[in-house]
Structures are given as C-alpha cells and as structure tokens.
C-alpha cells in the first residue's frame, strides 16, 4: 500500500495531475494566487524532469554511485547472483520466458557473460512471483539462461523474494553460499543492491547491466518525451530507495 503511494507520488505525470487539481480548487478560494503559483512551479518541474537532459543526468549519477573493489579482478568470485528485473505480463509456465522484461534479460545476459568466463562457476537467479500462484521470475530466468547454454546443474534458483532486501536475505540463506559473490543488476539499481547484500553479510563484486543514461543533444534534449518520463520515474524510485535503505540499515536493531 505504502509502496504504491510512493510510486504514484514519484511520477512527473501525477505531478501534472496535482497541479491541475490545484488550479481547480484554487480558482474559487482565497488561496488562488498561492495555489496557482504552486501549480505553475510544479508543472514546470514535471516537464523539466521529463526532458532527456534532466532524466539522463539523474540516471547517470545513479549509474556512477558505486565502486568496483580491486579484488574483483584479483580474486573474482565463482558465484554470480542475478536479480530479477520484472516481467511485462504474468506468465503461466516456466517456459514462457518471453514475458521477461528487457531489464531482466539484460541482467541475465550480463550474469551469463560472467559465468561463461571460467568453468565451474554457478549462476544464482533470485526473484519470486509477481503474484501468489504464478511462476516465479527466477524460474523464467532459469529457462532463459538454459537457452544460452547454461546447464541446469550450474543454476541455483531463489524463488521467494519480492524486494531487493528479500533478494539478499534469501540468497544468504541458501546452503553453501559463499560470502563473496558477483552481483548482476541494473546500473541504476546497483547501489541499493550492494547495501542490501552487504547488510546480509556479503562482499559484492558489482556487474552493472542495463545502463540507460545517454548523452542528450540540444535543443531536443529540452523537450519532454516518453522515454524521459520512464527514465525519470525509475531514477526517482532509486533515489528514494537509496535513502530508505540507508535509513533502515543504519537503524539500531
């Protein structure tokens, strides 16, 4: 419930709706001038955030917000954990991997690339179902990985987690899981993932996938578009998520 409200509040499109309601409410009240100014300011911010220039700046800062430890090169882990990145529609069978989102596919492919660099490595796929009773995302990812030649014996599926924190905790509970792992997730999502996995007792070698920040050209970069809206929503979600995780992880237990 709370997560849904936060997601709603982080959408620039919904900021425009709030601005419109301010104008409607303020038209017949004594606060008309104040509400109209607030509405104009909120509208301007919403349109600005949806521009390629601003949305890519927000994404780029997130994608640079983590460091790769030196030991990732000198002593690379034998286990790579891949976090699910969602589906485009609900699947009914484990073989229906076509429903995996582009984000999920890029994360898996980055994990497979790492797995294939050295024999004997394991691929841990983490992600529960979208809704109770449906196929877990990890199962879909496993089928997809096998299409790339990854044998079933090299795969470990964690099929219960629904959040990044749960990803970390449930992967940590898997038998025989080492404390040093490589972690494949979206570059924008990496900082929050690292925080969660460190809190669960892991040392993490980040494998950033799904990089979305691009160079915006002018003057086109100042014109709001659909891609800018989607990127801004995802980036704002991550900024708020980072703050939330930092607060939760620093809170005395």
The arithmetic mean of pLDDT across residues 14-21, rounded, is 95
Provide the pLDDT confidence category of residue 70 given band limits of 50, 70 and 90: very high
- Residue 1 confidence (pLDDT): 64
178 conformational bin, left if phi > 0, alpha if psi -120 to 50, beta if neither = beta
- Residue 243 confidence (pLDDT): 94
The residue among 113, 107, 147, 112 whose CA lies nearest residue 127 is: 107
- Residue 66 confidence (pLDDT): 94
| Residue 55 reports pLDDT greater than 70 | yes
In angstroms, the CA 172 to CA 95 distance is: 27
- Residue 92 confidence (pLDDT): 83
- Residue 24 confidence (pLDDT): 87
- Residue 250 confidence (pLDDT): 76
Provide the pLDDT confidence category of residue 196 given band limits of 50, 70 and 90: very high
- pTM for the structure as a whole: 0.92
- Residue 28 confidence (pLDDT): 74
Average per-residue pLDDT in the chain? 94
Residue 231 Cα distances to 11, 31, 90, angstroms: 10, 34, 23
pLDDT in tens, 116-137: 999 999 999 999 999 888 999 9
- Residue 32 confidence (pLDDT): 82
| Residue 47 reports pLDDT greater than 80 | yes
The arithmetic mean of pLDDT across residues 153-170, rounded, is 97
Provide the pLDDT confidence category of residue 248 given band limits of 50, 70 and 90: confident
- Other CB atoms within 10 Å distance of the CB of residue 13: 12
- Residue 31 confidence (pLDDT): 78
- Residue 138 confidence (pLDDT): 97
Listed in sequence order, the residues at least 6 apart from 122 whose beta carbon sits closer than 8 Å to its beta carbon are: 78, 79, 80, 115, 154, 155, 156
- Biggest alpha carbon–alpha carbon distance for the chain: 72
Decide if 31 contacts 38 (C-beta within 8 A).
no
Task: Name the CA radius of gyration of the chain, rounded.
Answer: 21
| Residue 21 reports pLDDT greater than 80 | yes
- Whether residue 9 is preceded by a cis peptide bond, meaning omega within 30 degrees of 0, is no
| Residue 167 reports pLDDT greater than 90 | yes
| Residue 27 reports pLDDT greater than 90 | no
Which domains are assigned to the chain?
71-209 (3.40.50.620)
């Amino acid at each position: 419930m709370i997560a849904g409200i936060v997601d709603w509040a982080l959408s620039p499109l919904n900021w425009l709706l709030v601005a419109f309601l301010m104008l409607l409410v303020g038209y017949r009240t004594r606060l008309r001038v104040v509400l109209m100014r607030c509405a104009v300011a909120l509208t301007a911010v919403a349109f600005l955030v949806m521009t390629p220039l601003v949305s890519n700046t927000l994404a780029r800062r997130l994608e640079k917000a983590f460091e790769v430890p030196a030991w990732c090169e000198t002593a690379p882990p034998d286990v790579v954990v891949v976090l699910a990145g969602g589906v485009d529609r609900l699947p009914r069978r484990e073989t229906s991997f076509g429903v995996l989102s582009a984000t999920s596919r890029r994360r898996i492919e980055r994990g497979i690339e790492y797995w294939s660099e050295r024999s004997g490595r394991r691929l841990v796929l983490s992600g529960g179902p979208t809704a109770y009773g449906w196929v877990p995302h990890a199962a879909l990812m496993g089928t997809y990985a096998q299409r790339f030649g990854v044998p079933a014996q090299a795969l470990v599926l964690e099929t219960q987690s629904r959040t990044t924190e749960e990803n970390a905790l449930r992967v940590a509970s898997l038998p025989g899981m080492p404390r040093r792992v490589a972690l494949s997730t979206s570059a924008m999502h990496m900082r929050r993932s690292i925080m969660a996995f460190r809190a669960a007792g892991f040392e993490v070698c980040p494998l950033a996938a799904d990089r979305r920040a691009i160079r915006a050209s002018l003057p086109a970069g100042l014109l709001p578009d659909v891609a800018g809206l989607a990127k801004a929503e995802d980036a704002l979600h991550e900024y708020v998520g980072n703050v939330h995780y930092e607060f939760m992880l620093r809170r005395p237990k």
